[in-house]
Chain A
Amino acid sequence: MLIFIIVRRLIFSIPTIIGIGTLAFMLGHLTPGDPAIAALGIDIEGYSNVDQAEVERVRKELGLDKPILVQYVSWLGNALVGEFGRSYVSSVPVAELVFEALPSTLLLMLVTMALAVIVGISLGIISAIYRGRWGDYLARLITIVGVSTPTFWFAIILMLLFAFVFPILPITGDITQHGLKAMILPSFTIALHPAALIARIMRSSMLEVLSQEMTRTATAKGLSPQRIYLVHAFRNAVNPVITVVGFQFANLLGGAVAVEFIFSLPGLGSLLIEGIYEKDILVIQGAVLVISVAFALSNLAVDILYMLIDPRIRL
């Protein structure tokens, strides 16, 4: 039964993924001027200097001479098998660039998410248990400051503090050079927002559960506060947090873009920004597509996880 639901959910996500592809395709055609010229990475101002034969060649190669619908279908088909064209800057296939950058970003995401979940949930629980006392106020202060701190600015401040004032951590996020230590600053930076959000959801969710009748039952049984908080309340309160964690993944990927760039971490975000600087349309398309599909898939994973965790949805 569960398998059936999961399969159904998988099938439902196909239109979304195709939709994202459509969005990425449209992106390439939004460029003012000729997409062939854009694919060559040349500004509109430089239009007259372009070698027309070269443009024609690219036009043919990209299939831009065909009707737009045909282009769309063939682009989508190619994209689905991981064929995004070649970067005009390096002539390397975009797919290769994307899949080189992917592991780095995924590792960063995982470390960050783990950090955000652990810190966020702990802060939320502390806040709920010490409701209205200094522990709660402190945890809430951390959360509100966390939510309000601009990520890229926080990156700079952390860099200033831990790479220059107290030079204990590397300033770049390149793990090939510095090992996992390189992940500390970037992941702390990106984890700030999701940790704060998770903490607030956890807090309100815990408080909600603690005010429910089931908590009174547990207390009336003579259970210790530890057991009530950490077994009964936690288990019930954590479900909405899982949904938030899923949504946060998008923000994480978004936050990662600037942060990867600041820490020169060779991930998807850096790839996207470099693509933007070089006006490398195909790289931009590829990066946007992969980031978005990764997000859609993570949402799917969260849905399935949710079903596995909550016995009520398992019907």
Chain B
Amino acid sequence: MKTDQLNSKSHNEIIPGKWARFVEGFRIFLSERLNAFSLGLTVFLILVAVFAPWIAPHPYDQVNPSYGMQPPSFEHLMGTDQAGRDILSRVLIGSRISLSIGLIAVIIGLFSGVLIGGFSGYFGGLIDEFVMRIVEIFMSVPGIVMALALVAVLGPSLPFIILALSIRRITQFARITRGAVLSVKQQDYVMACHGIGMSHIRIFFIHVLPNCAAPIIVLSSVMLGNVILTESTLSFLGMGIQEPTPSWGTMIAKGNEYLTFAPWVSVFPGLFLFLTMLAFNLLGDGLRDHLDPRGGNIV
């Protein structure tokens, strides 16, 4: 009798809905001060990028040769570059470009990588062996070297830059997804799905993939910072975004020439790049701790 009472009590507990659980998880995530900070910084940077044209105090391409290399002042908070353009405005517009390139490259990498790695891990066998070999080969080429070489032979136009940045993300997402799928597909409930004759496609998309979400989400955040860095490095080396479109990398490279007497030209874009990387890295860390409390090295 006592047992019955106990059981009925536990059954009566309200099972939270999907949305409520998400909100609760989000609340726990934000209760960590560092997470709140990194999410705030990320949102801030995204807002800045979205509203850049309206925030920017000057047109980003307004040339004023007689007013070049001005140190930071009230008029130009970050000073001006060699052509007298307002650095703050260029940094703001630059964030728009960097963020969108990063986002597109990560999305391409995410979708193709998850599908390739997921199917490879799920079906296994020779195809898996083959795919993983290819991934391993691609992983052997350092990301920046691959991107540089591709842009060098294809030419530094936007689609090719994005392609060069995505290829490595595809392999990284494929590897992570495959690993996750391999462990999930051995779980009893997946076996049970096979047992009741569910189709592979349904099992894969409904029962396997959603359970691999944690490492993929974490990787996405880390990769965003990473792609933005690679793009900046490309631009810095002159193989990325071309003038007059502002890009942090190009601005830092230009500033490098006047480093000794006008350090602000390269310091401020670098600072923004640093903040962006910081935001995404911290966010990735926070997500990793939140989604994988064991602190495993999922990325």
Contacts and interface: CB of A to CB of B under 8 A. Distances in A.
When A and B assemble into the complex, do they touch directly, with CB atoms less than 8 Å apart?
yes
A107 B74 CA distance: 47
Chain A binding surface SS class: helix
Contact of A208 (B150, B259, B267, B295): B295
A157 B270 contact: yes
A10 interface: no
B119 interface: no
A23 B149 CA distance: 11
B149 A27 contact: yes
A254 B237 CA distance: 13
Contact of B270 (A22, A150, A261): A150
A293 B285 CA distance: 32
Contacts of B225: 148
A273 interface: yes
Interface in B144-184: 144-146, 148-150, 152-155
A16 B142 contact: no
Contacts of B232: 150, 152
Contacts of B47: none
Chain A interface residue bracket vs B? 35 or more
Interface stretch (B56-64, B65-73, B199-207, B273-281): B273-281
B140 A27 contact: no
Interface in A3-35: 15-16, 19-20, 22-23, 27-28, 30-32
A242 to B, nearest CB: 13
A19 B133 contact: yes
Contacts of B150: 27, 30
B29 interface: no
Chain B binding surface SS class: helix
Interface residues of B, number: 47
B142 A30 contact: no
A164 B260 contact: yes
Q: Which of B141, B143, B233 has the most CB of A within 10 A?
A: B141
A23 B138 contact: yes
A119 interface: no
A204 interface: yes
A164 B295 contact: no
B142 A253 contact: yes
Given A153-B273, A157-B270, A273 B137 contact: no
Contact of B278 (A15, A145, A288): A145
Interface stretch (A77-85, A88-96, A177-185, A276-284): A276-284
B236 interface: yes
A207 interface: yes
Given A150-B270, A156-B259, A284 B297 contact: no
A262 B259 CA distance: 12
A314 B142 CA distance: 30
Contact of A254 (B145, B260, B270, B278): B145
B224 to A, nearest CB: 12
A291 B136 CA distance: 15
Contacts of B155: 32
Nearest to B137: A19
Nearest to A253: B142
Interface string B119-145: 000000000000001101111111111
Interface string B237-252: 1110000000001001
A276 B266 contact: no
B241 to A, nearest CB: 15
B274 A150 contact: yes
Given A23-B137, A254-B145, A257-B142, A276 B152 contact: yes
Interface of B: 133-134, 136-146, 148-150, 152-155, 225, 229, 232-233, 236-239, 249, 252, 255-256, 259-260, 263, 266-267, 270, 273-274, 277-278, 281-282, 285, 295, 297
18 contacts: A23-B138, A27-B153, A144-B281, A150-B232, A150-B233, A152-B232, A152-B249, A160-B259, A160-B260, A201-B297, A204-B295, A204-B297, A250-B140, A253-B142, A257-B145, A276-B237, A295-B142, A299-B140
